[in-house]
């Protein structure tokens, strides 16, 4: 059996690394010592760097659509951090500014860089935990696990509510046509396992119908038809319930093909057209042999 060597479209190596690159990209570029630039007063040099950073950042963001990427104003902020690093640590005339002020600016930009890097550090730690914990996909014993999920509703990790008296994820479903949450970051190779299992809790006496959907990477590359993925709706009465889905059913679910269990892309849970908001809990999402 092939082991789970990768986390599907991992948080740390997609937008996170891309975002941090904006900090390093501008630092060396904006301090090129053109002769006309070096003759300017220190405050003028700083102003030129900041204005050039803003203008270049805005132009880059306006051109994002040409590369199938959504413009992000946060990139402009990261550009300015890069410019600040250049000014505080690399710009030759920085020594002409008051020492106390420069130390304060250096500390400020170090903190700002740390705040930008921290989410990537957290993602890397959780990705390693996910590899170590596999075939458990999410048991919510760590607050970091919440970032493995994308939500179309409010989600949180609650203590002393899980199926074994520990933690579980709470989802507050609303009355939109589809309201739910999706597991997006996990080891994607499910070959060698026979069951996909999760535990769900309905705290209400009123039955709720929850649909579980599973699809592979190939599904995302087409029109994403309902018949091209696995869908199963369950009526959940009050209390805790363990739901086990045969992976052979998942494999055979797409019409006209077999789902690739080595390339599972996402697992979703949702309710459809609820008449009023409902709360459910989910725990111990895992694969079983």
Tokens found for residue 118: 């921290």
Cα radius of gyration (the chain): 25
Confidence of residue 242 (pLDDT cuts 50, 70, 90): very high
Please tell me whether residues 147 and 255 are part of one structural domain.
Answer: yes
Confidence of residue 114 (pLDDT cuts 50, 70, 90): confident
CB-based burial, 14-24: b 16+ in 10 Å, e otherwise: eebeebbebbe
Q: Work out the angle at residue 52's Cα, subtended by the Cα atoms of residues 50 and 56, and round it to the nearest 5 degrees.
A: 120
User: Considering 75, 105, 128, which residue would you say is the last residue of a domain?
Assistant: 128
pLDDT at 119 over 50: yes
Higher pLDDT, 7 or 246: 246
Please tell me whether residues 197 and 62 are part of one structural domain.
Answer: no
* Segment 242-261 mean pLDDT: 96
* Segment 121-141 mean pLDDT: 85
pLDDT at 80 over 90: no
Question: Is residue 248 a part of any domain in this protein?
Answer: yes
Please tell me whether residues 92 and 176 are part of one structural domain.
Answer: no
Question: Is residue 49 a part of any domain in this protein?
Answer: yes
Higher pLDDT, 253 or 77: 253
- Split into its structural domains, the chain has a count of 2
Asked if residues 268 and 285 have their Cβ atoms less than 8 Å apart, the reply is: no
Find tokens 């597991």 and name the residue: 183
Confidence of residue 33 (pLDDT cuts 50, 70, 90): low
pLDDT given at position 91? 82
Question: Is residue 7 a part of any domain in this protein?
Answer: no
Confidence of residue 273 (pLDDT cuts 50, 70, 90): very high
Q: Supply the range of the domain harboring residue 229.
A: 137-288
Question: Is residue 1 a part of any domain in this protein?
Answer: no
3-state helix/strand/coil string of the chain: CCCCCCECCCCHHHHHHHHHHHHHHHHHHCCCCCHHHHCCCHHHHHHHHHHHHHHHHHHHHHCHHHHCCCCCHHHHHHHHHHHHHHHHHHCHHHHHCCHHHHHHHHHHHHHHHHHHHHHHHHHHHHHHHHHHHCCEEECCCCHHHHHHEEECCEEEEECCCCCCCCCEEEEEECCCCEEEEEECCCECCCCCCCEEEEEEEECCCCCEEEEEEEEEHHHHCCCCCHHHCEEEEEEECCEEEEEEEEHHHHHHCCCCCCCCCCCEEEEEEEEECCCCCEEEEEEEEEEEC
Tell me how far apart the alpha carbons of residues 8 and 22 are, in angstroms, rounded to a whole number.
24
Q: For the segment 176-229, what is each residue's pLDDT rounded down to a tens digit?
A: 999 999 998 898 999 999 999 999 999 999 999 999 999 999 999 988 899 999
pLDDT given at position 6? 43
| Mean pLDDT, the chain, whole residue set | 84
Please tell me whether residues 226 and 196 are part of one structural domain.
Answer: yes
Query: At 279, phi and psi to the nearest 5?
Result: -120, 135
* Segment 238-262 mean pLDDT: 96
> Nearest-CA neighbor of 148 among 266, 237, 240?
266
| Strand pairing class (178-183; 168-173) | unpaired
pLDDT given at position 35? 61
Question: Is residue 68 a part of any domain in this protein?
Answer: yes
pLDDT given at position 23? 55
pLDDT given at position 168? 93
pLDDT given at position 19? 54
Q: For the segment 11-27, what is each residue's pLDDT rounded down to a tens digit?
A: 555 545 555 555 555 55
pTM: 0.70
200 bridge partner residues? 241, 282
CATH number at residue 247: 2.60.120.430
User: Considering 86, 103, 128, which residue would you say is the last residue of a domain?
Assistant: 128
pLDDT given at position 58? 79
pLDDT given at position 131? 85
Please tell me whether residues 236 and 121 are part of one structural domain.
Answer: no
CB neighbour list of residue 44: distance below 8 Å, 6 or more residues apart: none
Question: Is residue 4 a part of any domain in this protein?
Answer: no
Q: For the segment 89-112, what is each residue's pLDDT rounded down to a tens digit?
A: 888 888 888 889 889 999 998 898
> Nearest-CA neighbor of 184 among 229, 226, 214, 140?
214
Q: For the segment 5-14, what is each residue's pLDDT rounded down to a tens digit?
A: 444 445 555 5
User: Considering 72, 103, 128, which residue would you say is the last residue of a domain?
Assistant: 128
Tell me how far apart the alpha carbons of residues 190 and 261 are, in angstroms, rounded to a whole number.
5
Please tell me whether residues 112 and 220 are part of one structural domain.
Answer: no
Cβ neighbours of 207 (radius 10 Å): 10
């Amino acid at each position: 059996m092939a082991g789970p060597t990768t986390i599907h479209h991992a948080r740390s190596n997609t937008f996170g690394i891309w975002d941090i690159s904006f900090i390093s990209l501008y630092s060396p570029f904006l301090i090129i010592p053109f002769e006309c630039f070096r003759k300017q007063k220190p405050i003028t040099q700083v102003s030129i760097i900041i204005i050039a950073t803003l203008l270049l950042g805005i132009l880059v963001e306006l051109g994002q659509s040409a590369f199938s990427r959504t413009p992000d104003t946060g990139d402009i902020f990261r550009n300015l951090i890069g410019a600040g690093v250049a000014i505080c640590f690399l710009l030759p005339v920085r020594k002409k500014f008051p020492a106390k002020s420069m130390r304060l600016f250096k500390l400020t930009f170090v903190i700002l860089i740390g705040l930008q890097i921290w989410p990537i550090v957290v993602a890397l730690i959780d990705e390693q935990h996910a590899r170590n914990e596999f075939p458990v996909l999410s048991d919510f014993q760590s607050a970091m696990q919440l970032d493995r999920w994308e939500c179309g509703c409010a989600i949180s990790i609650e203590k002393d509510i899980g199926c074994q008296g520990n933690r579980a994820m709470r989802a507050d479903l609303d009355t939109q046509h589809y309201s739910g949450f999706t597991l997006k970051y996990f080891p994607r190779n499910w070959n060698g396992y026979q069951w996909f299992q999760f535990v769900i809790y309905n705290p209400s006496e009123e039955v709720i119908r929850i649909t579980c959907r599973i699809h592979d990477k190939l599904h995302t590359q087409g029109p994403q038809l309902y018949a091209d993925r696995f869908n199963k709706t369950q009526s959940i009465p009050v209390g805790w319930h363990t739901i086990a889905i045969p992976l052979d059913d998942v494999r055979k679910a797409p019409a006209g093909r077999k789902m690739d269990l080595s390339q599972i892309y996402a697992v979703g849970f949702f309710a459809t057209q609820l008449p009023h908001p409902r709360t459910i809990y989910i725990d111990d999402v895992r694969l079983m042999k």
